[in-house]
């Protein structure tokens, strides 16, 4: 059996590096050894860069690279542009694409000294909840490799859960960080829209996409956010202003914390009883810590899935129009009869079924006679959902709910039923619609021969990450769910 990593959290490894208990090269070699041994079964990585990673680690050990992440091996989702290797979005459309530049997030991570081990698998163009929509392969959940790791950032979550990195970066358009974090037993943070630059993130739905971190602990997620956050003049939606110190008071409990319970979440259908019980027990832990539990209402939540699956496909239809085999992306090698035939064949070959489905839904919703009835109505619902959250946060500091209605499901269990897959995001999509912050953290495990993680979601107001992370840390410090690891051989 492969030995575990000597330090498997970012904060523990960072302290060990500072104390000279290990070196960046030794740590990177240990991670790469696990990648070689375990990734054939987990299938987390699309590409790895061992020589480059070891060269960066050697620069850290020589003192030529410094920063808050110096020497820490991490993985990044393969929809973030890198000037090294390919950026595929797990799509045939971009199978050979080599970006001429680094995304701002990549620049910030490397400026902070991070060692990027490789790029991870995702649902094609981030459209999915299981990584089964990847054109390359399906990533596997390290807790039970017959099950999915979630999506769309499933590869990033699986890589961390399997110990194939010490932290990872994903993107979240409707729950794509929080849902895989829940299914893989991790902490996953979706920052407020505008807190982290989207420059160099290959667009799915531009008004919903946000980059965020995975960690084993709240402190790990806070450390990664600290390195990534901040204004970027190349992203017009990036918010100006200083970045708070997310670690400074992370362990200071929030006095007078008010935890909101939305009756609409309580009444949601299709939630596994074990998930309900674990989340209810987590709320009881908050009570025991002195928090006040208050009832709130989010009346337009019932329209969240419908609004999301109009807004996101409409934006995807627009964003993915550039991949036509002429300007960008895969070009068919088949004989063609004119430009329309070229574009049609190139897109049919380059895009998978789910991406084609969402493009067609979005194009239809934006077409003449339907734009007002569908897209503009969805935007009106979006404003009402945001107003619901504003009213709720006047009564509470965070809102607690399940992250996912169920624990990790079997590979193939929902892939033939797109609607069932969409409903897996019932608790997560409204966070993106409203542009607020959300975090998932472990709160229990299912019963059975192979227990599976269950996630607690906490939602906080826009730019409220400091208190949201402190609230999450309060629960984490009172429990030990985050200390459990899957056994892989």
- Is 106 within 8 Å of 200 (Cβ atoms)? yes
Active-site residue, selected from the candidate residues 77, 108, 119, 414 = 77
- Catalytic residue from among 152, 168, 182, 404: 152
Question: Which is the catalytic residue, given 139, 168, 176, 401?
Answer: 176
User: Is 152 marked active-site?
Assistant: yes
297 is known as an active-site residue: no
How many degrees, rounded to 5, is the angle at CA 324 between CA 321 and CA 329? 105
409 near 147, Cβ under 8 Å? yes
Q: Which of 405, 450, 423 is nearest to 146 (CA)?
A: 450
Tokens 């969805």 label which residue? 378
List 441's β-bridge partners, or say none. Answer: 456
Query: Which CB contacts under 8 angstroms, 24+ apart, belong to 485-488?
Result: 485/4, 485/8, 485/163, 486/142, 486/143, 486/161, 486/162, 486/185, 488/2, 488/38, 488/41, 488/42, 488/142, 488/162, 488/163
Instruction: Give the C-alpha separation, 382 to 380, whole Å.
Output: 5
Cβ neighbours, 10 Å, residue 153? 37
What is the maximum alpha-carbon separation in the chain?
71
Tokens of 5: 């990593």
| CB proximity list for 118: less than 8 A, separation 6 or greater | 35, 45, 46, 47, 48, 49, 53, 75, 76
Which residue from 125, 123, 137, 118 is spatially nearest to 42, judged by alpha carbons? 137
Q: Which two tokens stand for residue 184?
A: 């893989």
- Concerning whether 368 is annotated as a catalytic residue, the answer is no
What positions carry a catalytic annotation?
Answer: 77, 152, 176
């Amino acid at each position: 059996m492969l030995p575990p990593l000597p330090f498997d959290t970012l904060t523990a490894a960072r302290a060990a590096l500072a104390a000279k208990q290990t070196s960046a090269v030794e740590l990177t070699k240990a991670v790469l050894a696990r990648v070689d041994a375990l990734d054939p079964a987990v299938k987390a990585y699309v590409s790895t860069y061992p020589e480059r990673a070891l060269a960066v680690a050697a620069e850290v050990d020589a003192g030529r690279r410094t920063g808050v992440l110096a020497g820490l091996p991490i993985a990044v989702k393969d929809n973030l542009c890198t000037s090294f290797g390919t950026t595929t979005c797990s799509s045939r459309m971009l199978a050979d694409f080599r970006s001429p530049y680094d995304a701002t997030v990549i620049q910030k991570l490397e400026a902070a000294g991070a060692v990027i081990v490789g790029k991870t698998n995702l649902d094609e163009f981030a459209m999915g909840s299981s990584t089964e929509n990847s054109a390359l392969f399906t990533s596997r959940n390290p807790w039970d490799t017959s099950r999915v790791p979630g999506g769309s950032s499933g590869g990033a979550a699986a890589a961390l859960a399997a110990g194939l990195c010490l932290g990872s970066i994903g993107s979240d358009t409707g729950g794509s960080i929080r849902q895989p974090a829940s299914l893989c037993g991790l902490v996953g943070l979706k920052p407020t829209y505008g807190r982290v630059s989207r420059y160099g993130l290959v667009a799915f739905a531009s008004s919903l996409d946000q980059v965020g971190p995975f960690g084993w602990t709240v402190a790990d997620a806070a450390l990664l956010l600290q390195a990534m956050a901040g204004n970027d003049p190349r992203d017009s939606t990036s918010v100006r202003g200083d970045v708070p110190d997310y670690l400074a008071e992370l362990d200071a409990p929030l006095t007078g914390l008010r935890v909101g319970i939305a009756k609409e979440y309580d009444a949601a259908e299709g939630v596994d009883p074990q998930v309900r019980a674990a989340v209810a027990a987590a709320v009881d832990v908050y009570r025991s810590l002195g928090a006040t539990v208050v009832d709130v209402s989010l009346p337009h939540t019932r329209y969240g899935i419908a609004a999301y699956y109009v807004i996101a496909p409409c934006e995807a239809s627009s964003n993915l129009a550039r991949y036509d085999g002429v300007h960008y992306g895969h070009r068919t090698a088949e004989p063609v009869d004119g430009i329309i035939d070229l574009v049609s064949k190139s897109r049919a070959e380059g895009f998978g079924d789910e991406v084609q489905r969402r493009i067609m839904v979005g194009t239809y919703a934006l077409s003449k006679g339907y734009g007002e009835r569908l897209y503009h109505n969805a935007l009106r619902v979006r404003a009402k959902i945001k107003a619901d959250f504003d009213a709720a946060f006047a009564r509470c500091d965070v809102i607690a709910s399940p992250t996912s209605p169920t624990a990790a499901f079997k590979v193939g269990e929902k892939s033939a039923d797109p609607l069932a897959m969409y409903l897996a995001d019932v608790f997560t999509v409204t966070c993106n619609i409203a542009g607020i912050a959300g975090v998932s953290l472990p709160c229990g495990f299912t019963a059975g021969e192979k227990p599976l993680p269950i996630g607690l979601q906490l939602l906080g107001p826009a730019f409220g990450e400091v208190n949201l992370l402190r609230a999450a840390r309060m629960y984490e410090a009172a429990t030990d769910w985050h200390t459990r690891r899957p056994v892989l051989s």
